[in-house]
Chains A and B, each alone.
Chain A
Amino acid sequence: MTKSIMIVGVGGQGTLLASRLLGNVLIQNGYDVKVSEVHGMSQRGGSVVTYVRYGEQVYSPVVNRGEADYILAFEELEAARYLSYLKKGGKLVVNTQRIDPMPVIMGNAQYPENIIDKLRAAGADVLAIDALQDAVAAGSSKAVNVALIGHLAKALPFSQEQWEQAIRETVPAKFLDLNLKAFHIAYGA
């Protein structure tokens, strides 16, 4: 049975690296894997989505509504935007960070209040975490993507060694220590 993970966030938050990291941990486990990335215009501060799918044989690289076993949301509003993609019984890991989109900055739209509560009320199994705090504790806010992976990792059946291996394969050597530290803080190991 093919499993689907969605990573949603704001262009520039490092969702692309997170999806590659996830892909690398899945390869170690012998799955067929497809990862769909977003490049170009939408990277410029827009809403970005990457998909990771794995199983015995994966055809489509994209995740549709009602299909995601896990959604990793880098930002609260993006969690709300993609809630419809969560499978019933799926898990929604949300970074409690708020980045105002331009229509909100301009005063043309309201940033919804109490997003986490509303997500839960809508029927989602939500894990809300402050990954930015983990990243800052590790040394830099830039490691927020790997910290988030650390939280998602707690819900996935792969070993700590495999995650560490995948981080080594994905992150540039210069930032390896920072990212391993961020992962460990988030993962709780």
Chain B
Amino acid sequence: MQKLLLGNEAVARGLYEAGVSVVSSYPGTPSTEITEFAATYDEMYCEWAPNEKVAVEVAIGASMAGKRAFAAMKHVGLNVAADPLFTVSYIGVHGGLVIGVADDPGMHSSQNEQDSRHYARASKVPMLEPSTSEECLLFTKLAFELSEQFDTPVLLRLSTRVAHSRSFCTLSERCEPVLSPYQKDIQKNVMMPAMAIKRHPVVEERLEKFTALAEETTLNRIEEGDPAIGVITSGISYTYVKEALGDRACCLKLGMVHPLPVDLIRKFAAKVDRLYVVEELDDIIETHCRKHGISVIGKEVFPLCGEFSQEMVREKILGEKTECLAFPEEVPGRPPVMCAGCPHRGTYYALKKLGVYVSGDIGCYSLGAAAPLSAVDTVVCMGASVSGAHGYNKAVGKDKGKATVAVIGDSTFIHSGVTGLINVAYNQANTVTVILDNSITGMTGHQQNPTTGLTIKGDPTAAVDLEALAKAVGINRVKVVDPYDIDATYEVLKEEIAVEEPSVVIARRPCALLKNVKHNKPFSIDADQCKSCKACFRIGCPAIMMRDGKAAIDNIQCVGCGECLSLCKFGAICKGE
């Protein structure tokens, strides 16, 4: 049967068909839907883990038990999971173990543009990279076979355009792999120096075997065309190359991007006049070619930053420029904004008014850095708000350090904020940690998490009690506010900032986009009362705009949250009837 599947959906189908038993992941664009689709198959146990490190360790445990296991994450998630990855490379697997990692060239929804292929090299783990949904499905299945055959975890690398594109897939039945049950083997499974010293050479030998495989596997294939131009490529770049050049070039498509073949590339290089490497992000294939004395054209022509396209390939290789229509004037940008009714807006409005240093974090609420709220001073990585605020506070000292605030979402707090908070309590920083508890993992599209009391399947389960948790780690002052009540939120924050001990403020109000959240009738502006002072614009709500010299509320976007009410001193904002 042929179906049009999203790349991530095809990976999930591959997991199902490969007979995978356990899937554990942390959501992260563009990888999230793999696990969401996997959870629609009752044959697999699927879960949201608190973070990527936990997810990979869960998968390692399941593999140890003799079952096929998988963990998915975005590129930066693999930084968090790098610790178990490097050592499970030494241990190897019992049941097949595959880690899916989705890079985000162009940073559609990420804080950096790192290239996960470095992790394959660094951890000496093979990596497959599909170009289409069909390959997502097939490579996922193949990854499990290779994992068991060579006793190694395998990385499956996607990028945004592969993960979030739909193309045709042929579906098959689920297989039930015959695997041996758990067997105690301390020499192989316990990585202490005496054992690990013996395992490292095994890893190097394994990589050599993989290099031999790379020379002959059908994952790497030469596609014939005009030998005047040769292109070595992989992943989404392959589709751009084929689209742009068709049979005007020969193509070496690499489905296995670590380890890379040597003889195959030499053979390919020998048959073409001019050889290009077309790879998004870093120059990994190119460097490999140069190391082996194969001369290629790569990053001197193609950029290290951002996504590629067929237009770019056409221009860089064929020198063909695209002619296009042009709009006669500058088009204003449309950056993402917090939604109308977003509870974070109230918290940020209060923080901005307080003029404090705000250490931000990863989620929808990173948008608090955007104008007009501009309330966030820094965003680094998951969890960094709490620990970063601690460091800032320790550095600036007692006097100026009072006004140090960290803002972090509920899911991000569980991911890696709680360890920072333990540090705040243990080493007594004078910070206020604001947990923006919107009852969901928002940015990635509404996933449950350990604070919501629901599993990935929507079944009831234990929920983290954030107030009790904060107290248990040693925070004495824990307050809860409703961020829709901006004045009350402001007062509580002001009080906690003034106190000379660490405190936690939980700003609790569900995400306005959640299906079970009831909305009020849209508000409106009484144009006769409106003095055009633009005070209501300071909250940065996308539903409030200027029309004919007066403020106006878009009744399609407005959800009647009322956050704007207290901003108007003239009573011009009216509740919906």
Contact = CB atoms under 8 A, between A and B. Distances in A.
Interface of A: 2, 10-12, 20, 23-24, 27, 32-47, 58-62, 64-67, 77-78, 80-81, 83-86, 88, 99-112, 118-119, 121-124, 132, 141
A83 B324 CA distance: 8
A109 B329 CA distance: 12
A60 B236 CA distance: 8
B328 interface: yes
Contact of A118 (B29, B239, B329): B329
7 nearest A-B pairs in the assembled complex, by CB-CB distance: A40-B109, A40-B29, A46-B336, A109-B332, A61-B165, A64-B311, A101-B334
Interface stretch (B282-290, B366-374, B379-387, B432-440): B366-374
A121 to B, nearest CB: 7
B109 A59 contact: no
B333 interface: yes
B546 interface: yes
A104 to B, nearest CB: 5
A12 B534 CA distance: 25
Given A32-B167, A42-B109, A84-B327, 9 more contacts: A12-B557, A45-B338, A61-B239, A66-B324, A80-B327, A99-B557, A105-B546, A106-B371, A109-B332
B4 A83 contact: no
A26 B173 CA distance: 26
A141 B556 contact: yes
B6 interface: yes
B423 interface: no
A38 B109 CA distance: 10
Contact of B545 (A44, A100, A132): A100
22 contacts: A36-B161, A39-B30, A39-B33, A39-B164, A40-B29, A41-B109, A45-B337, A46-B335, A60-B310, A61-B166, A61-B236, A77-B334, A83-B325, A86-B324, A88-B325, A100-B542, A102-B335, A102-B372, A103-B333, A112-B327, A118-B328, A132-B556
A41 B104 CA distance: 12
Given A45-B336, A84-B326, A123-B325, A59 B331 contact: no
A35 B166 contact: yes
B369 to A, nearest CB: 12
B108 interface: yes
Contact of A65 (B165, B322, B338, B540): B322
Contacts of B323: 66, 88
A102 B540 contact: yes
A80 B542 contact: no
Contacts of A110: 332
Interface string B391-435: 000000000000000000000000000000000000000000000
Which residue, A34, A47, A132, has most C-beta atoms of chain B within 10 A? A34
B322 A64 contact: yes
B315 to A, nearest CB: 10
B309 interface: yes
Which residue, A40, A80, A122, has most C-beta atoms of chain B within 10 A? A40
B80 interface: no
A166 B11 CA distance: 25
Contact of A33 (B168, B309, B372): B168
Contact of A45 (B238, B330, B542): B542
A38 B165 CA distance: 9
Interface string B223-241: 0000000000000101110
Contacts of B240: 59-60
B336 A101 contact: no
Contact of A39 (B32, B332, B334, B557): B32
A97 to B, nearest CB: 9
B6 A122 contact: no
B537 A85 contact: no
Contacts of A44: 336-339, 364, 367, 443
A106 B372 contact: yes
Contacts of A10: 334
Contacts of A36: 161, 164-166
Contacts of B332: 77, 101, 103-104, 109-112
A116 B542 CA distance: 23
B445 interface: yes
Contacts of A77: 331-332, 334
A84 B333 contact: no
Contacts of A99: 542, 554, 557
B322 A83 contact: no
Interface in B154-198: 161, 164-168
Contact of B336 (A43, A78, A108): A43
Interface string B527-570: 00000001001001010111000000010110000000000000
Interface in B337-353: 337-339
A65 B311 contact: yes
Contacts of B243: 2, 59-60
A61 B72 CA distance: 23
Contacts of A65: 311, 322, 324
B242 A59 contact: yes
